[in-house]
Every structure is written in structure tokens, then in C-alpha cells.
Amino acid sequence: MTLSARPLRLTTDQADFEPRFRERLHWSADTDAEVEQRVAAILADVQKRGDAAVLEYTRRFDGLDAASVGALELTPAELKAAFEALPADQREALQAAAARVRSYHEAQRRASGESWSYRDADGTLLGQKVTPLDRVGIYVPGGKAAYPSSVLMNAIPAHVAGVGEIIMVVPTPRGEKNPLVLAAAHVAGVSRAFTLGGAQAVAALAYGTATVPRVDKITGPGNAYVASAKRRVFGQVGIDMIAGPSEILVLADGSTPADWVAMDLFSQAEHDELAQSVLLCPDASYLDRVQAEIDRLLPQMPRAAIIAASLNGRGALIQTRNMEEACAISNRIAPEHLEIASSEPGRWEPLLRHAGAIFLGSYTSESLGDYCAGPNHVLPTSSTARFSSPLGVYDFQKRSSLIEVSESGAQTLGRIASVLAHGEGLQAHARAAEMRLKGGA
Amino acid sequence: MTLSARPLRLTTDQADFEPRFRERLHWSADTDAEVEQRVAAILADVQKRGDAAVLEYTRRFDGLDAASVGALELTPAELKAAFEALPADQREALQAAAARVRSYHEAQRRASGESWSYRDADGTLLGQKVTPLDRVGIYVPGGKAAYPSSVLMNAIPAHVAGVGEIIMVVPTPRGEKNPLVLAAAHVAGVSRAFTLGGAQAVAALAYGTATVPRVDKITGPGNAYVASAKRRVFGQVGIDMIAGPSEILVLADGSTPADWVAMDLFSQAEHDELAQSVLLCPDASYLDRVQAEIDRLLPQMPRAAIIAASLNGRGALIQTRNMEEACAISNRIAPEHLEIASSEPGRWEPLLRHAGAIFLGSYTSESLGDYCAGPNHVLPTSSTARFSSPLGVYDFQKRSSLIEVSESGAQTLGRIASVLAHGEGLQAHARAAEMRLKGGA
């Protein structure tokens, strides 16, 4: 059977554009009641029985039989050995990627993650102290979606933030370890690592067991069980986000080689069948050329079946009236990855308000950003770029407000606070302010 | 009957300190299954029937009968009139507080909320673009806990961030409007306001109805129904946090007048019976003096019953070995409000890692911070200061990574990305990078 990939072809001036566009975009994170119930039971059990429960679920779900949770810990020596056993080009690529990711996140910390304060006219000090989290947990998926680059993208910002301890968990079904994941943990400087996965790993990190230390925040992607567990432990610990399928939106003015753009659409589609690749362009003939490149290149791809399923089920090539309209549609979608495949990317970038990451110009393929340009590849999906941000140093820091009111400041502020507190019927608040007034209250 | 308030008295060197301390700190945000189910039904109904459902629940829960949701909108003229009808001292206090809160949050935006970028050696541009959210919803509780100061603390950071539209909802049971809340909405520059509350208000903001516009994020405190609804719509929209009972922890070296500290403990306790006030001090005689002031001042307080219930049920006066130990215990608690009632607050502040806000020195009563010092009074509760931050300008902004790879940069980065992508079995990622290499691939 010959595979074909035919993304939905639309033009914004067709009469039924709006409903067909909406239908194609629709994705619902409906939670499965059975998954919810099983996860709730696993969390409660790990909270109650600790290591014993973790061991039991690991045996049942990962087919991994261990005498103790301690036996599931990967030693630093083992991580290092995995790194050293890699071919030289992989070792060097991992290190080069890590260095660039580190340097970008250091710039991020300097730009937006430092403590600050000032004194006002009456000597009162105001500011914020920025401090790293004490201990974080990083969930790394195992099996078919085991991505060493995700280890770097989660652990390095935590490191740059100054987190004291970074605990990695990664499931190893039937004991199968991914050497690149272990090597990445070595390169990224993970503090401890356990071959645990699923809701039981999330529970161990959130509540702590005799062996697995309790963390303050859990980041990293996972399957439906992991997502449900993270949502449930939120509040007990911090979490990053609940990721949906990955998405790319390409805005093209026709100046980028059509095969480059076709391959960029593939690189999102190859993640999984639910991934979404959308191309917006005012030039119908360019859309034809991209479709022709899709047809030509698809048979060359080892993951052609996944790519075809994704493009046929969720992909779209949309002809817009002009680039301005393409930008407006992009803002409605708020895509995770947004490529401006244009000879004048700086012209369109200011029009783009919502996106996880913006890739400017023909040379900036999403895959360069995924691995090694420097910025984080953990990005908001499913339109959440309307209100959330790439994973960053700020996710591994928290802020404490600093207030030092001078004796003189207490006179001015005390009078204001007293009026407002009485207005709210909170007399102790008012009295506490009034007591600091000269002459007392 | 004479009320008495006796916070639990402990010393860290008593044999059973640890279990008794833990027991006193314990607070569980156990969710009520019935509340959960009712909220799920309300959300689904509003999503399906929109305005009609919102009207029906408002009638049922708030005893408020309106012809349409539009009739529940408060006009800008009504907000302005509420402001103008206030006594002069309240008008001035609201404006003075708003000005200080605005100026603090402007400093916050300059310090940590601006876009940044740099070019690396081969001309590749990397950075982050910081943009405001388009539209946010602010939930303001009605009834007994209607706090105008909360309107300022939610709306002003949104304004400073540059949010386009700020939609306030506030329940007005049986039509009873709080003039200070309306006036604060005027002062803070809320764009639109509706007299809606409960899960139905959260649903209207999250999904949008014919009358209430859909927002990108919902902030602000509420009762169990509101908290449950916010947790459920998280992902569809952003939310700030799920707040637990309010807490204060005072570290005292004995240099602050004991009645000031007693009143600061009251000012937390008067919020509600579950609020927690804790005092840590190495000096037993100072703890005695604070207890004596509690006894003396309690009968003077209009909210004495709530204060007594809170202090008896959840309060503690703890004698520590020294100030260093007091700081260590404070870090375990990670309190929402942390007062350093000391003549040398700068000596202890660096030891304090986890707190929502730190109030330094005897003149800095928490109540000054609550109303008008400038920093936000929406702070992480229930130990979540371990991983989260005060509400701030950053909560109303989001970030998009910017990447513009130069032709020369694509040569270096392309080789690294290609190796790593092949290592992960993602060949389209590899090909997309290789196509940008000179000579192609």
C-alpha cells in the first residue's frame, strides 16, 4: 500500500472556512474516568505504604522486579559510564547542546531572575528576593518517546536557577535502559536518578518515601497516567504544565524552499498521530509546491506512517488573503512552535502575540530549536501560549516580597491602612497599623 | 462567657516537640466529593447553555433575579458613582494605596518583565519576547469576606502588565453591593464588571457566554466552589493559585513591643477560624509577655470570637534555642507572611529561604503590607511558598522564545541537531536540519 499525506486544504475566503477551520483545530483533553480513578488509588496507596507500593506498581506496570526501591537507583557511576560508552559524535553533540542551552538560560536568569529592591522617599525598602527551589523532580518518559534532549531541557534550567537537588525518574520497562537518556542525565548534572515511571513515580516524588526524597516541584512530560497524577498532586508540589499534542504553525511568504517547509511540517507530524502541522500562506502555488514536496519526500521517511496519519487527520494548508491575515489566524491558534518562513521575518514578528517559540527566517528550522539553539523546547501547547510560557529558569525559582517600613514610613502608611482596614471591618489590622503611629493608638 | 485565646505553647527542646508541632501545622485541602460533583455539573451546564445557565444559578445561589446577564453588568458610571459617594478619607486612602501598589508593580515589571535578546558569535539571535495577556478575569468574593484591597491587588498588576481587558466578577447575594469594592474597581481601572459569583462565574469567564467574554486567565480567591471550579478549568485558561487559610509567622528576638506582636497575631487570626498565627522566639519571658498582651487585648476586639477560635485551634507560641533555629523552623513552614520582629532584621533575612512576603523590622506590620506598602497581598499559602510566588506582573504576562538562526549558525547547529535527532530516531527532525547545511542533504 502506498501512503499518502494530504493535509486539509482551505482558503480563508471560502464560505465554510470558519467551521472547517475550527473543526480541524479542535482537540479536547478529555480525561478518562477510569484513568482518573486508577491514578487516585495509586497516589493514595503510595502516600500510605511508600516504597512497598512503589515497588509493587513498578513490578506490575513495568515488569521490573527489584528487591527494594534503592536497587532501582541509578548511580552517578552508571550515568557516567553510559556517557563514556557513546560514540564520539553523540558525546560531542550532547555536550555542545548542553553548553548552548546553559548559556541561553544563564542570559535568561540575568534578564529576569535576579533579586531587586529600592527605597522610597521616606526610607521604606521594597523589593523581591528571588531564590531557587530546594529540590525538584524531573519526569522523563521511557519507551518509544524517550528523549535525551528533554533531560537537558528540564535539568539545565533547574541547575542554572541554583536548585539544590535534581531527582530524575525514568521508567525502564522490563529493565530496558536508554543509554542516551542516562548519558544526558550525566551531562546535565542530575543529582539522583531512579528507574521509576507512571503515577507511582509522581506520587513518590510528591509525597516522598523512605528512599525517594520528596520534591518541591515536578516537571516533564508523560502519558495520561502521569498527566493525571501531576494534576492531582498540584498544590502539594508545583508542576510545570499538562502538555497536549505537539504543534507547528508555519507562516510562509513563499521565499523559503518548499522542501524545507515540507520537512518542517513532517518533523512535527512524526512525533505522533495527534501532532498538528499547519501552513499558512497567501500564495496558492506555493501551497501546491509544498504539497508536491510532501508527496515526494514522504516515501523517504522511516516514520512515514505516523507522518501520514498526523497530516491527514490534523494537518492543514491554508491560503490566506495576505500575510497580515496569516498573522491574525496564528494569534487565534496560539501555536506551540511558530515558524516565520519569510525573507522579512522582522516585519511579521511584531504582529505575533501568542506563541511558545517563534522561529524567524528560513534557516531557523524548528529542529534546531528543539535540540541545540539554546531556548527551551518544553513549550505551551493547545493554545495555552495565550497565558503561559516556555519552561525556564523562572520555573525553578520563587519570589518573596521584601518590605522594611521605616519609622517615618509607618506614619504615612499607618493612616492609609487604618482607614482601609476599618472599611473592611478588620479592626486588628487597623490597630496593628495604629500602634506604630507616634503616640500610639 | 469570657473568651480566652491560648495558642499552643511549645519549646523545641521538649521531647514531644516534633509530633506536636507537626500536628499543629497540619492542614489538609481535602476536596469534598459532593462539591466536586456539583461544580462539574455547573461547569458543563454553563459551557452548554451559556447565559441561561448563568442566570439560573445566580437566581438559585445568590437569590438574584435578573432578566438577562447583561442586566447584571455594573456600568463604569455606577463604579464611578460608588467612588464619589465615599467619605473623603476612604477615597484618599484608596487612591494612595492604588498609587503605591502601582509604583511597586511598575518597578517589578522593569526588573523582571521586559523582553530581552542577544546575538551569539555567528549572528544567531536568541531571546524572549514578553507580552501581556489579552484578557483576564478577576474573581472578587462577596459577602463577609469582600475586600476592596483585593480588587486593587489583582487588577493593578494586570494593568501594569498591559492586559487589554480586565473583567471583574463579584457576587452580590440578594443584590447587596459593597460600595468600597465598586469604588476600588473604579480606582483600579477594571474594564467591565458583573455581579456574578460561584462556579457559574468561573465557568462564564473560562468558556465565555453571549454576554460574558472568555478570558485567558482567572485570578482571585473564593470559597470551596470557586476553588474547585478554578482547578477544573485550569488548562482551558490559566489560574493563579488555590489559596488555603491565611498564615502569619513572627520571628521575634524580644525587641518589638509585645502588644505590637500580639496585635499582628490577631490581625491574621481575625480573618477566619482556620487562619494560623505562629510566634517563634528564643526568650520564654517574651512569649509570656505576648500571651499577657493577648489576654489584655482580646476583649477589646470586635472579632474576638474568631480570633480566639483561630488562636486556640491553630495558633502556637514556640520557644526556640536561638534565632538560627527559629529561622530553620520558619523555612520548614514556608509561611505566607513572615515578620522579622527584630532590631537586626537584616541579620536574619538571608537565612530565610521560603516565604510569600518578608516583613522586616518592628515597624513593618503585616497590615501595612496588606493594604498599601506596595507589594502584592495575594501570596502563596499552605507551604506553597516552597515553589510559588506572590501574585505579580509576571502572572499577567507570558513569554515567547525568539530564535533567528543565521546561515552560518545553521551550519554549526545543524550538525549537532542531526546527530541528536538520529539518536532519538526522529529522522524528519534530522533532515530538516541537514537541508539547511551548505550543499544540502
Alpha-carbon span A280 to A284, nearest angstrom: 10
- The pLDDT score that the predictor gives to residue B146 is 76
User: Active-site residue A92, yes or no?
Assistant: no
Q: If contacts are CB pairs under 8 Å, which of residues 66-125 in chain A contact chain B?
A: 89-90, 92-94, 96-97, 104, 107-108, 111-114, 116, 118, 124-125
For A59-66, the CB contacts below 8 A with 24+ separation are A61/A197, A61/A198, A61/A200, A62/A171, A62/A172, A62/A173, A62/A174, A62/A197, A62/A198, A63/A173, A63/A174, A64/A172, A64/A173, A64/A174, A64/A175, A64/A195
CB contact under 8 A, B367 and A263: no
Q: Which of B399, B425, B351 is nearest to A157 (CA)?
A: B399
* Collapsed DSSP state (helix, strand, coil) of residue A136: strand
Decide if B363 touches A, using CB distance below 8 A.
yes
Angle A303-A306-A307 from CA coordinates, rounded to 5°: 80
Buried b (16+ CB within 10 A) or exposed e, B58-80: beebbebebeebeebbbeeeebe
**A130 against B272, higher pLDDT:** A130
Chain B residues lying within 8 Å of A417, measured CB to CB:
367-368, 370-372
Residues 6+ apart with CB under 8 A from A56: none
User: Active-site residue A159, yes or no?
Assistant: no
The class (CATH top level) of B33-239 is: alpha beta
Q: Where are the beta strands (DSSP E) in B76-201?
A: 116-119, 125-132, 135-139, 165-169, 192-194
- The pLDDT score that the predictor gives to residue B330 is 98
With contact defined as beta carbons under 8 Å apart, do B365 and A432 qualify? yes
Listed by start position, the domains of chain A span 8-26+244-373, 33-239, 405-434
Q: Which residues of A make up each annotated binding site for substrate? A: 246, 268, 271, 337, 370, 424, 429
- The pLDDT score that the predictor gives to residue B145 is 67
Instruction: Give per-residue pLDDT as tens, A9-54.
Output: 999 999 999 999 999 998 876 667 889 899 999 999 999 999 999 9
Q: What is the dihedral of CA A374, A375, A381, A386, to 10 degrees?
A: -160
Q: What one-letter code names the amino acid at B221?
A: P
CB contact under 8 A, A363 and B406: yes
In chain B, which stretches have pLDDT less than 70? 1, 29-31, 144-145, 440-441
Q: How confident is the model at residue A299 (pLDDT cuts 50, 70, 90)?
A: very high
CA A202 to chain CA mean position, Å: 17
Alpha-carbon span B273 to B191, nearest angstrom: 35
Give which of A242, A293, A413 to mutate to test B binding, by max B Cβ within 10 Å. A413
Task: Using CB atoms, pick whichever of A216, A235, A362 lies closest to residue B29.
Answer: A235
Instruction: Give per-residue pLDDT as tens, A407-428.
Output: 999 999 999 999 999 999 999 9
Residue A440: closest C-alpha in chain B: B260
Q: If contacts are CB pairs under 8 Å, which of residues 38-67 in chain B contact chain A?
A: none
Residue pairs between chains A and B whose CB atoms are closer than 8 Å: 399
Alpha-carbon span B220 to B241, nearest angstrom: 8
CB contact under 8 A, A387 and B402: no
* Collapsed DSSP state (helix, strand, coil) of residue B181: helix
Residues 6+ apart with CB under 8 A from A121: none
Angle B216-B217-B218 from CA coordinates, rounded to 5°: 140
Chain A residues lying within 8 Å of B364, measured CB to CB:
403-405, 410
Task: Using CB atoms, pick whichever of A217, A365, A405 lies closest to residue B432.
Answer: A365
Residue whose cell numbers read 472568555: B214
**B272 against A292, higher pLDDT:** A292
CB contact under 8 A, A148 and B420: yes
Residue B319 Cα distances to B260, B282, B285, angstroms:
18, 5, 10
ipTM associated with this complex: 0.95
With contact defined as beta carbons under 8 Å apart, do A363 and B410 qualify? yes
Q: What are phi and psi of A295, to 5 degrees?
A: -60, -40
% of residues, chain A, pLDDT over 70: 98
**Same fold yes or no, B8-26+244-373 and B33-239:** yes
Q: If contacts are CB pairs under 8 Å, which of residues 297-326 in chain A contact chain B?
A: 301-303, 307
CB contact under 8 A, A126 and B107: yes
- The pLDDT score that the predictor gives to residue B144 is 64
Rg (CA), chain B: 26
Half-sphere exposure of B404 (CA within 13 A, CB side): 17
CB contact under 8 A, A399 and B389: yes
Alpha-carbon span B439 to B441, nearest angstrom: 7
The stretch A154-164 carries a mean pLDDT of 98
Q: What are phi and psi of B174, to 5 degrees?
A: 50, 30
Residue A128 parent element (H or E): strand A125-132
Task: Using CB atoms, pick whichever of A264, A401, A416 lies closest to residue B357.
Answer: A401
Alpha-carbon span B9 to B317, nearest angstrom: 5
CB contact under 8 A, B368 and A414: yes
Q: What one-letter code names the amino acid at B378?
A: V
* Collapsed DSSP state (helix, strand, coil) of residue A422: helix
Which residues are registered as beta bridge partners of B404? B125
| Beta sheet of A8-11, edge-to-edge order | A8-11, A316-319, A276-281, A247-252, A337-341, A357-360, B397-404, B125-132, B116-119
Alpha-carbon span A6 to A9, nearest angstrom: 8
Q: If contacts are CB pairs under 8 Å, which of residues 139-198 in chain B contact chain A?
A: 146-149, 180
From first CA to last CA, the distance across chain A in angstroms is: 88
- The pLDDT score that the predictor gives to residue B147 is 87
CA distance A397 to chain B (A): 7
Q: If contacts are CB pairs under 8 Å, which of residues 205-224 in chain B contact chain A?
A: 216-217
Instruction: Give per-residue pLDDT as tens, A186-231.
Output: 999 999 999 999 999 999 999 999 999 999 999 998 888 999 999 8
Alpha-carbon span B392 to B99, nearest angstrom: 16
Chain B residues lying within 8 Å of A410, measured CB to CB:
363-365, 368
**For B27, left (φ over 0), alpha (ψ -120 to 50), or beta?**
beta
B395's grid cell = 502572572
Residue A184: closest C-alpha in chain B: B420
- The pLDDT score that the predictor gives to residue A416 is 96
With contact defined as beta carbons under 8 Å apart, do A305 and A311 qualify? no
CA distance A190 to chain B (A): 19
**A1 against A331, higher pLDDT:** A331
With contact defined as beta carbons under 8 Å apart, do B155 and B189 qualify? yes
- Domain B8-26+244-373 grouped into CATH 1.10.260.40: no
- The pLDDT score that the predictor gives to residue B1 is 59
Residue A241 Cα distances to A359, B272, B276, B344, B380, angstroms:
22, 32, 30, 41, 18
A14's grid cell = 471560502
CA distance B400 to chain A (A): 5
Q: What are phi and psi of B356, to 5 degrees?
A: -70, -55
Chain A residues lying within 8 Å of B133, measured CB to CB:
386-387
